[in-house]
Structure 1
């Protein structure tokens, strides 16, 4: 689906994010359209990646369905490959980042000598990509623009961003989701390394919202060869959108002022599409089926589904 410009009956708000368009219906439901836009270093790149929206939305739908016994989630319907309709929640202003391994931002902090991350003490004597003794939560504030900021549990509660009662519940759910994510990944020969969860509240109920365990919100390693690579000090084989960031860095772009996004050739765009499809099939164990729907047909199907749900 090309970039649509929907307007739905009883629509009360519209928000265009980096990669998602979100329509609010009567302050009760949300229609989330996951576009083919792609961002890296907090910049939306100039060319969309065909089928990327479908990959992310369908992985999220599968993973949310596989974890709904742990906590309720916002999804009411997935009427189209890249569209989800769900409950409108009051979003908690923090993201729960759960880490099973010393990787990425945690490793950069550790390598520079830091032994505290978001108020969590990091053990001595660890190497990059080692497992933590137990998964840790390193929350961040949610930023609509620019970078999310690290924050500790204590700061979140003291500042009133989230009540202690709700935050304790968020921690419990996040760790349970991560455990389930690791189990699902293991069945596919993968290690769920780190991920982020977002939560919202409707009434007194906490819901899992947005996407979970997708290649955009999570990092995976291949389980095969993990021990050997750690013993030899080699990098792990990753399954995430890190390859896009690596390509940008190799071409002189890290989102810094004055830098220009390198040209995205047809060949590169096609290669990213193929990589996302590979990610879908490896993470879910299902065959990816490319689906195309015109914006007009999509709008009709979404409206029909909304009428059923309202």
Structure 2
């Protein structure tokens, strides 16, 4: 994946995120468009780790496209086409400044907060007596602010409305969309022998229409447990077998890194990177039921650039 950005005819903007390179084309003949290149970069604790993970960008892009297409009946989404296995192109939206995080189980950040005594998460009160990885009484919304740099921060519904980050009418619609998407994702995961534990959704708008944007139900935005053995592991107080990026976070924490000032990212060996890549591919194949076909590695940047140029010559 390119270390340096491409430059395309008609390009009006560029943004490099933690994982994706985003090109904007405000004057596209069919209307403002975005082209996203999913890189092999990997981030944890809001820090981009120093070494890329083979095939990760393709896994993310194809997983997101699969779920965007499978949820288009719930909410319109930004995706129009996938011109390359690592590239998506679609409608440029004005993003909302919050991410809608839905949690169905007490895991990850929520569990760490709960374990330290916290019983209110983003304005939602959690009952006493829960264990790590317990199913919550019902899925909860725990929004975060969106940070272009640094850490996203938890925020409550009341604070979002009080600070006028999102209007109440729009926020209600975002809540409804997020919960409906989570229910669909839960059903789709169950059919594949998985539990959708938690995930995040991002939304934008064009005029009066709200769109689902970015990625959906990918290993970077979601946590999955295997259904088989879940109850037994929970009863025995054992870690769940899971498909998510959490194992990367756990490895970093075990090696003294949580993204805090003064901490150094531990060395990532070739073997460790291969293991991460294998996990990502396993998730794609498990959640979609499709076989992963790696894009040819030779002249990969040239392939991506050619595919984007060809897309820009269309009226889509």
| 1:60 aligned residue | 64
2:253 and 2:156 mapped to 1: Cα distance?
30
The superposition leaves residues 259-308 of structure 1 with CA deviations (integer Å, 9 ceiling, x where unpaired) of 22222222222222112111211121111001036323322221221221
Unmatched 5+ residue regions in structure 1?
A: none
| 1:23 aligned residue | 23
The 5 Å alignment of 1:179-190 reads 179-190=183-194
| 2:285 aligned residue | 281
| 1:83 aligned residue | 87
The superposition leaves residues 135-168 of structure 1 with CA deviations (integer Å, 9 ceiling, x where unpaired) of 0001011011111111111111111100000000
Given the alignment, which residue of 122, 130, 133 partners 1:129?
Answer: 133
- TM-score (ref. length: structure 1): 0.96
| 1:196 aligned residue | 200
CA contact 2:195–2:226 (8 Å) conserved in 1: yes
1:130 and 1:259 mapped to 2: Cα distance?
32
1:112 and 1:85 mapped to 2: Cα distance?
42
1:56 and 1:77 mapped to 2: Cα distance?
15
**TM-aligned CA deviation for residue 55 of structure 1:** 0.3
- TM-score (ref. length: structure 2): 0.94
| 1:170 aligned residue | 174
Query: Is it true that 1:39 corresponds to 2:43 in the alignment?
Result: yes
The superposition leaves residues 151-201 of structure 1 with CA deviations (integer Å, 9 ceiling, x where unpaired) of 111111111100000000000000000000000100110000000000000
The 5 Å alignment of 1:116-155 reads 116-155=120-159
CA contact 2:233–2:240 (8 Å) conserved in 1: yes
| CA root-mean-square deviation | 1.4
CA contact 1:3–1:35 (8 Å) conserved in 2: no
2:6 and 2:16 mapped to 1: Cα distance?
12
CA contact 1:36–1:50 (8 Å) conserved in 2: yes
**TM-aligned CA deviation for residue 124 of structure 1:** 2.6
| 2:306 aligned residue | 300
**TM-aligned CA deviation for residue 242 of structure 1:** 1.4
**TM-aligned CA deviation for residue 253 of structure 1:** 2.2
**TM-aligned CA deviation for residue 2 of structure 1:** 4.2
The superposition leaves residues 21-63 of structure 1 with CA deviations (integer Å, 9 ceiling, x where unpaired) of 0000026000100100111122211111111000000000001
**TM-aligned CA deviation for residue 4 of structure 1:** 5.2
Unmatched 5+ residue regions in structure 2?
A: none
**TM-aligned CA deviation for residue 111 of structure 1:** 2.0
Residues matched between the structures, number: 310
Query: Is it true that 1:157 corresponds to 2:195 in the alignment?
Result: no
1:297 and 1:110 mapped to 2: Cα distance?
47
The superposition leaves residues 212-239 of structure 1 with CA deviations (integer Å, 9 ceiling, x where unpaired) of 1001100011101111122222221111
CA contact 2:123–2:157 (8 Å) conserved in 1: yes
2:231 is paired with a residue whose SS is helix
The 5 Å alignment of 1:179-258 reads 179-258=183-262
Structure 1 runs of 4+ with >4 Å offset: none
**TM-aligned CA deviation for residue 125 of structure 1:** 2.4
1:277 is paired with a residue whose SS is helix
2:164 and 2:43 mapped to 1: Cα distance?
31
